[in-house]
Amino acid sequence: MDKKKPLILVVNDDGVTAPGIRTLIRLMKKLGDVIVVAPDGPQSGMGHAITLDSTLHVERVHIDKGEQVEYACSGTPVDCVKLAMNKLVPKRPDLCVSGINHGSNSSINVLYSGTMSAAVEGAIEGIPSIGFSLLDYSHDADFSQCEEYVIKIAKQVLENSLPKGTCLNVNIPNVKKEEFKGIRICRQANGNWHEEFDERISPQGKTYYWLTGKFVNYDKGEDTDIWALENNYISVVPVMFDVTAHHVIQQLNSWNHG
Amino acid sequence: MDKKKPLILVVNDDGVTAPGIRTLIRLMKKLGDVIVVAPDGPQSGMGHAITLDSTLHVERVHIDKGEQVEYACSGTPVDCVKLAMNKLVPKRPDLCVSGINHGSNSSINVLYSGTMSAAVEGAIEGIPSIGFSLLDYSHDADFSQCEEYVIKIAKQVLENSLPKGTCLNVNIPNVKKEEFKGIRICRQANGNWHEEFDERISPQGKTYYWLTGKFVNYDKGEDTDIWALENNYISVVPVMFDVTAHHVIQQLNSWNHG
């Protein structure tokens, strides 16, 4: 390990063998030494979950050739960051990158996303952190068109760091390289999911459900991530882990507290 | 079901049989009709996780006597809210309450907490929502001293609603009734966990870990939830689901995006 090279921690939520993280590892190796601590299987939609009632296992793995050190972990994406920081990294990482997620983490999806929660956990640990997502859910998603932008943004963060208490939520539209209009700093669009639970009957006659639904965007603002993505921009939303609604504290103080 | 009475959705993360939710159900019945949709087992630390890769089961249960309608769900606290809203409630709830959690959800714990994520999900659905937590992790926690305050806060929210896009994170110190100094509207203290993974060897010779650690508060502000709790106040933090760091958008715009 080169002492002068930055150390980059790579995590994700689709699991250590997912094409998205394999791309991200390959790209980060151009910028520094890479340590990978990723779930041993899919952990999509795990949000900021941590493993309290169960044990955690970690195994050294060798998936692609190269000097990167890789671990597969039985826990959630946030567990991976915690284990990495406390047990696995040889020194404090200079950057934590999560993804590249197969599918969008724009708007309210930032809360459900294991990819983004791993980046938020990196920020809580005080490491400049970025979550990357490509708007293509398929396993065969083509990550090649966005490589240049992923490197560019990671380099910027390595050089400039990030404001305290924040990380970046980067979403990349699924378009050809020549169609990208550039990078746009955005706010999270105000949208959510309209669930349509798929109700089925098991062979044993018991009712069960699959969570499914449709994303609905109420927010036409041109400063939102959804607008940027629909207009072929790469959206970059600064995300913070202080979730206090500071702007309503005064209003609540007018309540009669007794 | 009384058409004039408010409908109150009760959820939690400790599971439908936990003493905390049994207390909350009993208290909410004084304010309206109650429907309970809670996990069928402990779901602490599940954050905003949702079940994407597995099926969900829901069963009507009868635990305590009374008119409340209760369901036990196989999913996470957020799944419970989604299922409730889309499959189980007879009409739109007027209030969603989560808890009473066995243990603190102050400071950064708001992100890991299934209790608070259920309340946040209620807010995303547009329902005035509150998460309640008592600073006592034990199963035998005494919830009696805080009953008056839980009712008071729930009543206030039923009467005044809450500002759009927010819910309340209410934490209650573990002190005697006469020691409570009242309610204090606060911001989330800037603290986090210093993990100390407990490393063990299985009978099969394999290393495994238990996640453990110590909470560290860096924030001495008298406007924080931690300060309030340490000084015997009930802390009320307004929490929002827009996690955009709006204050740094301008700074990031000064980057060279190319």
Segment A166-174 shows an average pLDDT of 98
Segment B163-187 shows an average pLDDT of 96
Name the minimum distance, in Å, from the CA of A249 to any CA of chain B: 6
CA distance A78 to B117: 16
Give the per-residue pLDDT at A57: 95
ipTM above 0.90, yes or no: yes
Give which of A254, A50, A47 is closest to B238, Cα–Cα.
A254
DSSP conformation letters of A5-23: SPEEEEE-SS-TTSHHHHH
CA distance A170 to A104: 9
Residues B81/B88, Cβ–Cβ less than 8 Å: no
Q: Which of B47, B79, B184 lies nearest to residue A211, judging by beta carbons?
A: B79
pLDDT in tens, A108-154: 999 999 999 999 999 999 999 999 999 998 888 999 999 999 999 99
**Which one of B137, B184, B257 would you mutate to disrupt binding with A, by most A Cβ within 10 Å of its Cβ?**
B257
Which residues, at least 6 apart from B72, have a Cβ–Cβ distance to it below 8 Å? Answer: B16, B38, B39, B40, B58, B59, B61
Segment A224-252 shows an average pLDDT of 97
Q: Please judge whether B209 and A56 are an interchain contact, meaning their C-beta atoms are less than 8 angstroms apart.
A: yes
3-state secondary structure (DSSP) of residue B110? helix
CA distance B111 to A179: 37
Q: Which residues does chain A have within 8 Å of residue B183's beta carbon, measured at their own beta carbons? A: 257-258
Give the per-residue pLDDT at B2: 62
Give the per-residue pLDDT at B1: 59
Q: How many CB atoms lie within 10 A of CB B162?
A: 21
Segment B192-205 shows an average pLDDT of 94
Which residues, at least 6 apart from A254, have a Cβ–Cβ distance to it below 8 Å? Answer: none
User: Which residues of chain B from 140 to 169 reach within 8 Å of chain A, CB to CB?
Assistant: 152, 156, 160, 163, 165-166
Name the minimum distance, in Å, from the CA of B186 to any CA of chain A: 7
CB of B221 less than 8 A from some CB of A: no
Q: Please judge whether A50 and B52 are an interchain contact, meaning their C-beta atoms are less than 8 angstroms apart.
A: no
Q: How many residues does chain B have?
A: 258
Name the minimum distance, in Å, from the CA of B50 to any CA of chain A: 5
User: Which residues of chain B from 64 to 93 reach within 8 Å of chain A, CB to CB?
Assistant: 75-76, 78-79, 82-83, 85-87
Q: What is the pTM of this model?
A: 0.96
Give which of B38, B34, B92 is closest to B66, Cα–Cα.
B34
Looking at residue A138, the DSSP 8-state letter turns out to be: S
Chain B residue whose CA is closest to A238: B245
Looking at residue B222, the DSSP 8-state letter turns out to be: T
Homologous superfamily in CATH for domain B7-189+220-253: Survival protein SurE-like phosphatase/nucleotidase (3.40.1210.10)
Q: Which of A53, A152, A208 lies nearest to residue B56, judging by beta carbons?
A: A208
Q: Please judge whether A112 and B48 are an interchain contact, meaning their C-beta atoms are less than 8 angstroms apart.
A: yes
pLDDT in tens, A19-38: 999 999 999 999 999 999 99
Give which of B77, B68, B91 is closest to B22, Cα–Cα.
B68
CB-side neighbour CA atoms (13 Å) of A72: 13
CB of A190 less than 8 A from some CB of B: yes
Q: Please judge whether B86 and A196 are an interchain contact, meaning their C-beta atoms are less than 8 angstroms apart.
A: yes
Looking at residue B202, the DSSP 8-state letter turns out to be: -
Q: Which residues does chain A have within 8 Å of residue B48's beta carbon, measured at their own beta carbons? A: 47-49, 111-112, 117
Q: Which residues does chain B have within 8 Å of residue A240's beta carbon, measured at their own beta carbons? A: 243-245
pLDDT in tens, A50-104: 999 899 999 999 999 999 999 999 999 999 999 999 999 999 999 999 999 999 9
Residues A195/A211, Cβ–Cβ less than 8 Å: yes
Here the tokens at position B220 are 């001495």
**Helix residue ranges per DSSP H, A76-224:** 77-83, 109-112, 114-124, 147-160
Here the tokens at position B182 are 């009242």
Calculate the average pLDDT of chain B: 95
Give the per-residue pLDDT at B257: 63
Q: Which of A45, A165, A252 lies nearest to residue B52, judging by beta carbons?
A: A45
CB of B183 less than 8 A from some CB of A: yes
Give the per-residue pLDDT at A2: 62
Q: Please judge whether A56 and B188 are an interchain contact, meaning their C-beta atoms are less than 8 angstroms apart.
A: no
User: Which residues of chain B from 90 to 149 reach within 8 Å of chain A, CB to CB?
Assistant: 108, 110-112, 117, 120, 124-125
* Residue/partner pairs of B204-211 with CB below 8 Å, 24 or more apart: B206/A57, B207/A57, B207/A58, B208/A55, B208/A56, B208/A57, B209/A55, B209/A56, B209/A57, B209/A58, B209/A83, B209/A87, B210/A55, B210/A56, B211/A50, B211/A51, B211/A52, B211/A56, B211/A75, B211/A79, B211/A82
